[in-house]
Structure 1
């Protein structure tokens, strides 16, 4: 017997994707904590010293705050995801959690960059650690249910690819705005007479407000009762999480992408150092090259969707991982290759990153959604939230390492005269990419595809 469900219209899908635009702005903004508290030694940022920048027992305050935030969410995230599976809220299993977290996380995101005293102090250090931990917990309350909606509202493999495409575009715009264009906007505000710290905090306030307004849109416009099967899971949270970890295909694929996303943090947090320190360009080039990279990735997006219908998604991800390995190798030797200018070298890397972003930004999410949907078909239990939470649990320890390691490596040299720390960032990321690629080879895609082919759905008219 065919199950009937209403297909979500395009404009509501866009409203859903704008929620990702919002949380992308906030998470990218929070990722600027290293730049704000340990800026490049090029004289362009000129922020006041608000916390000690020295390593304590091998860790900076920033590294410690990021590490503790990941540890705090280690068990919190899976529980939030599993609890949303069991929710019987009148507005839907997921939207209640998204509603109660959108405003608090936006407010806390701003105060990460506004410690109570104007000079380095223990109070500022405690403030930073507390704000970063709280921000990550509140963001989990939003993101776990939000991510769980993709396998629910995407009822076919093609639908899930499209959802991953539009949310990837939304994430990219958030990263472009808060992670790249911010340097251009900051320069503009400084040219208008603002101090560097005032210009930066003004932008943080604007990003916080915009992030909240965007994150509330899916709560308003995505009606779970109409567009999701919304079958409440009767499994206890711990039971659901354990069963998620027993899914071999999901574990292997999640492990591979976890290692990949670790390298992505090295790219996101390191790009300002790669461009200003290794390539000797001004901060404004971060915005220009970032915009060019995302522009090129958007041009590839339609082709990614077309190719995904014709060849294995796994093969596409393998290709992107190989390109990313090459790109990090090029970053590691930037400025040291004779016969080519650093500007030309930089644009070659940006071209590669455009292709990588177009594939890695869409296809891994679609594969994960396919695996989760296949599990619901096999077991009859819809525990998308448990998978989202278990995936977060899976990533917490590995993903806590880059924010811990990056500030420490930068202490080894982050200036044009001593760039050792910046080059080591690229070398470490290169090694991680090789590990990620090897793990991915063990994922059994055929099993998932065969299970999805057995699903029997009929779409009813709105």
Structure 2
């Protein structure tokens, strides 16, 4: 077999740093692989349900446990350290500081791995149990009173959780463009992943509170029991793709395709990733959207208890309609993306979701809240499905342009920024609510988070407008 010629430019910062022959690009499109059956798709999607259960558990209920509304229980950590530093924000920044080094290291290891089980599956095996374990342990602080010991515990558990998130989730998502390299196929699989994520979020935010929070969420033991059960379910679901998905059969072999695992070192791989204009534009828009979305997600228990005067167990009354509408919207997303483009759907999603969140300060009736969150179901469905499909396109375009497969670095870089956004947005929410008030008599700190999220979503829409989708599509088709 004739070897495919791949020429590398020594200047990694140049946008044309790699050149790949047209014969290589043709081979990439033509190499046979094992068919991705419906069973394979379900098993792969189950991992996303498990991952989202743990993630949603941490983002929605950790702050509620450690820093409840002013009139809803004893705080387990002081609101501020040294009288001025928001505690939860500081802990998240410390955890993100570790991720600054850890995320790209894991991604680079995975991209360069030649493990016999597969370069993604080996990392998923290593991360699955610690990830589920730390998601549960966060909810079991050493003491039941406000204490610096709890501050240390929470900081350590958050750092461990996000470190294990990198080990499992970045390689898991990196499989998407590898097992579904076709543009329409990865859109279809991304939509299935979004439906799986919706199922996980539904379990955490609607079903579990109804089953476990019989006293309205004010009983700490009930919340801890719920967290333990969800962490166990998360582990079982994340284990399914590890056990049943044969990466070696489903991924195009490097030696047959003309593409190869990355041989770039950590620094060069990072530089090449962030020098990709399509990736940089996309990931900035996604990170801004995620910041706003997570701020709203963190705020839901406070909207229910503080603004609407209802018990925590009734969060399902807001989120049930939203998830129901999102589920109905999923089958339509492929058609929307084809007609208006993935870029166009993300811009519309950002603006519609932002417009709805401006109404939150005036929502005092749970019925009005149900209507607003139901209308938010369509933009939320788009946000859950389309970004992974866009990033899969970016990965495939990069592979065709460079001859190297670096999916884990792309998804790892996104995951790193996602976790920074997650930590900072949750910390900012805590800071705003504690500084401006989070009680029924003084709700301003909860009210302003809606308009704040809107401003960030407008910035996300402006950023998505600069995503070069036409260029990415040409490169995927071998015309770039």
Find the aligned partners of 1:118 and 1:451 in 2 and give their Cα distance: 57
Contact residue 258 and residue 399 of structure 1 kept, 8 A: no
Which protein, 1 or 2, shows the higher relative CO under an 8 Å CA cutoff with sep ≥ 6?
Answer: 1
Find the aligned partners of 1:83 and 1:230 in 2 and give their Cα distance: 18
Find the aligned partners of 2:341 and 2:57 in 1 and give their Cα distance: 35
- Aligned partner of 2:464 in structure 1 is 440
Once the two structures are superposed, what CA deviation does each residue of 1:14-36 show, in whole Å capped at 9, x if it has no partner?
11111111111111112221010
SS of aligned partner of 2:114:
coil
Find the aligned partners of 2:270 and 2:327 in 1 and give their Cα distance: 35
Match of 2:397 among 366, 370, 374: 374
Match of 2:305 among 273, 276, 280: 276
- Within the alignment, does 1:322 sit opposite 2:348 as a pair? no
Contact residue 92 and residue 230 of structure 1 kept, 8 A: no
Contact residue 237 and residue 386 of structure 1 kept, 8 A: no
Deviates more, 1:305-314 or 1:207-216: 305-314
TM-score normalized by the length of structure 2: 0.88
- Within the alignment, does 1:450 sit opposite 2:478 as a pair? no
Match of 2:55 among 6, 11, 27: 27
Give the aligned length.
443
- Within the alignment, does 1:421 sit opposite 2:450 as a pair? no
Once the two structures are superposed, what CA deviation does each residue of 1:421-448 show, in whole Å capped at 9, x if it has no partner?
0012112211111111111111111101
Query: Alpha carbons of 1:63 and 1:224: their partners in 2 closer, same or farther (altered >3 Å)?
Result: same
Spell out the pairing of 1:115-264 with structure 2 (5 A cutoff): 115-188=141-214, 190=215, 196-231=219-254, 232-264=261-293
- Aligned partner of 1:291 in structure 2 is 320
- Give, in angstroms, the shift of residue 183 of structure 1: 2.8
- Aligned partner of 1:339 in structure 2 is none
Contact residue 184 and residue 284 of structure 1 kept, 8 A: yes
Find the aligned partners of 1:127 and 1:10 in 2 and give their Cα distance: 42
Contact residue 50 and residue 119 of structure 1 kept, 8 A: yes
Query: Alpha carbons of 1:40 and 1:122: their partners in 2 closer, same or farther (altered >3 Å)?
Result: closer
- Give, in angstroms, the shift of residue 100 of structure 1: 1.1
- Give, in angstroms, the shift of residue 5 of structure 1: 1.8
- Within the alignment, does 1:360 sit opposite 2:383 as a pair? yes
Superposed CA RMSD in Å reads 1.9
SS of aligned partner of 1:319:
helix
SS of aligned partner of 2:404:
coil
Once the two structures are superposed, what CA deviation does each residue of 1:352-377 show, in whole Å capped at 9, x if it has no partner?
21111121111122111111111111
Once the two structures are superposed, what CA deviation does each residue of 1:77-101 show, in whole Å capped at 9, x if it has no partner?
1111111011111110001111111
Query: Alpha carbons of 1:347 and 1:51: their partners in 2 closer, same or farther (altered >3 Å)?
Result: closer
TM-score normalized by the length of structure 1: 0.91
- Give, in angstroms, the shift of residue 176 of structure 1: 1.9
Query: Alpha carbons of 1:317 and 1:115: their partners in 2 closer, same or farther (altered >3 Å)?
Result: same
Find the aligned partners of 1:49 and 1:156 in 2 and give their Cα distance: 50
Find the aligned partners of 1:393 and 1:118 in 2 and give their Cα distance: 32
- Give, in angstroms, the shift of residue 144 of structure 1: 1.0
Contact residue 75 and residue 393 of structure 1 kept, 8 A: no
Find the aligned partners of 1:251 and 1:303 in 2 and give their Cα distance: 28
- Give, in angstroms, the shift of residue 42 of structure 1: 5.1
Deviates more, 1:248-257 or 1:106-115: 106-115
Once the two structures are superposed, what CA deviation does each residue of 1:191-236 show, in whole Å capped at 9, x if it has no partner?
9xx9811111111111111111111111112211111125322222
Spell out the pairing of 1:93-112 with structure 2 (5 A cutoff): 93-112=119-138
Contact residue 65 and residue 76 of structure 2 kept, 8 A: no
Once the two structures are superposed, what CA deviation does each residue of 1:374-406 show, in whole Å capped at 9, x if it has no partner?
111111110001111222344454443212211
SS of aligned partner of 2:181:
coil
- Aligned partner of 1:14 in structure 2 is 42
- Give, in angstroms, the shift of residue 124 of structure 1: 1.9
- Within the alignment, does 1:383 sit opposite 2:412 as a pair? no
Unaligned runs of 5+ residues in structure 2 are 1-26, 255-260
Contact residue 67 and residue 403 of structure 1 kept, 8 A: no
